[in-house]
């Protein structure tokens, strides 16, 4: 490969990867939040049943 193609690939990879990583991060954050909320609701239901 010629050096221009290698430079173009090295520049293009972060431009492609950054949006993908950002969307993945946002999705993962939403999943973590949903799991935490579900745990809190389950704990509250269990405490209400004990009283």
Q: 1-51 pLDDT, tens per residue?
A: 899 999 999 999 999 999 999 999 999 999 999 999 999 999 999 888 766
| Structural domain span for residue 41 | 23-51
Enclosing H/E stretch for 1: none
The token pair that represents 5 in the structure block: 């193609």
Go through the chain and tell me how many residues it has: 51
For residue 43, the model assigns a pLDDT of 93
35 domain-assigned: yes
The token pair that represents 41 in the structure block: 């609701």
Residue 49: DSSP 8-state:
H
15 domain-assigned: no
Count how many domains the chain has: 1
């Amino acid at each position: 490969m010629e050096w221009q193609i290698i430079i173009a690939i090295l520049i293009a990879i972060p431009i492609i990867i950054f949006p993908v990583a950002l969307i993945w991060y946002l999705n993962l954050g939403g999943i973590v939040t949903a799991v935490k909320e579900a745990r809190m609701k389950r704990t509250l239901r269990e405490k209400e049943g004990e009283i």
